[in-house]
Amino acid sequence: MVDSLRVFAGNAHPRLAEQICAYLGVDRGEAEVGAFPDGEIRVKINENVRGCDTFIVQPTGAPAENLVELLVMIDALRRASARRVTAVLPYFGYARQDRKDQPRVPISSKLVANLITTAGAERVLTMDLHSSQIQGFFDIPLDHIFAAPVLIEYFQSKEIPNLTVVAPDVGSLKMARAYSKRLNASLALVDKRRTRVDDTEVMNLIGEVEGRNVVIFDDVISTGRTIARAAVELKKRGATSIRVGVTHGGFAPVAQEILGEAPIEEVVVTDSLPPKSMDLGGKLQTLTVSRLLGEAIRRIHEERSLSSLFV
């Protein structure tokens, strides 16, 4: 059975795919994922996958080619008679428009779920979705795992005294509560208001941070403003030190300046997305989720429970 496990990757994050393959002890599946001279994506699977349990590792954030490569690869594997195709999305892109909260906006995450399913994926493995209800946008089995074990292990190893975990907005409160429990820390919440698509303002801080060492946990960093504005407020309220733990380092170019100037000691992200060339003056730390994803793939392949990956 193990022989039938094949792991493929597009061009979104080949390094992570290689690390996952190393963990699983398999070679990466042979495929050409390139483009025609005019730029259209062209895929060719270069090995026999009949009856194989196939996995495609591909975060679907920008550029849009990442998503299209995934769809075309799923189609190629289906037509090559793979027994099963699982889309492994370390980062599920297009997640932020997940409800109709304004007139004339799409529900992009539902659209992407439809596209992945229609292309022929039979399962999805993903990590730290922007909102967990996105699971319900898929009518195929979806395993939603968390980077928490990796981030928790890191922060535990630092043995930070007087620790308070901070949720930078209401959306991340549930996640932050889970971190605070595991890290034996108190909990605080920043009441954030989004003023523009790329900016936020802090309305309130709920909880005590004076004299505390703080870790802010969030699912994604884009411009870095959510984190930076929260950090400034926490500092104003007397926090001793401020660190950040985020699953997806989506860093927009402007994040370097914003985070570089923020009163933050350390920004810890995972490699769910390819590392960006960011100079945060030594503040940036990247942890790998390759073993976590590799183990999840192994268990899916062996039809074993994934529950123990959550502790």
- Residues annotated as catalytic are 192
Q: At what angle do helices 14-24 and 290-301 cross, to 10 degrees?
A: 60
Among 222, 247, 256, 290, binds ligand R5P (CB under 6 A): 222
Q: Which of 257, 249, 258 is nearest to 231 (CA)?
A: 258
Among 14, 149, 171, 207, binds ligand R5P (CB under 6 A): 171
- The span from the CA of 157 to the CA of 121, in Å, is 38
256 binds ligand R5P (CB under 6 A): no
C-beta of 159: minimal distance to ligand R5P in Å? 27
- Pick the closer one to ligand R5P by CB: 93 or 224: 224
- The span from the CA of 17 to the CA of 7, in Å, is 8
Q: Which of 25, 44, 22, 48 is nearest to 33 (CA)?
A: 44
Among 172, 180, 213, 270, binds ligand R5P (CB under 6 A): 172
Q: Which of 218, 220, 60, 68 is nearest to 126 (CA)?
A: 60
Dihedral, 294, 298, 304, 306 alpha carbons, nearest 10: 10
86 binds ligand R5P (CB under 6 A): no
219 binds ligand R5P (CB under 6 A): yes
Count the residues of the shown chain that bind ligand R5P, applying the rule CB under 6 A.
Answer: 15
169 binds ligand R5P (CB under 6 A): yes
Q: How many CA atoms lie within 13 A of 44 on its CB side?
A: 5
What residues from 181 to 210 belong to the interface with ligand R5P (CB under 6 A)? 198, 200
274 binds ligand R5P (CB under 6 A): no
Contact 309, 295 (CB under 8 A): yes
225 binds ligand R5P (CB under 6 A): yes
Q: Which of 255, 301, 298 is nearest to 276 (CA)?
A: 255
Residue span binding ligand R5P (CB under 6 A) among the ranges 24-32, 143-151, 223-231, 266-274: 223-231
301 binds ligand R5P (CB under 6 A): no
Among 218, 266, 271, 295, binds ligand R5P (CB under 6 A): 218
128 binds ligand R5P (CB under 6 A): no
- The span from the CA of 40 to the CA of 27, in Å, is 27
Tell me the two tokens of residue 2: 């193990």
In degrees and rounded to multiples of 5, residue 291 shows phi and psi of -70, -40
233 binds ligand R5P (CB under 6 A): no
- Pick the closer one to ligand R5P by CB: 225 or 298: 225
Among 226, 256, 270, 290, binds ligand R5P (CB under 6 A): 226
Q: Which residues bind ligand R5P (CB under 6 A)?
A: 168-169, 171-172, 198, 200, 218-226
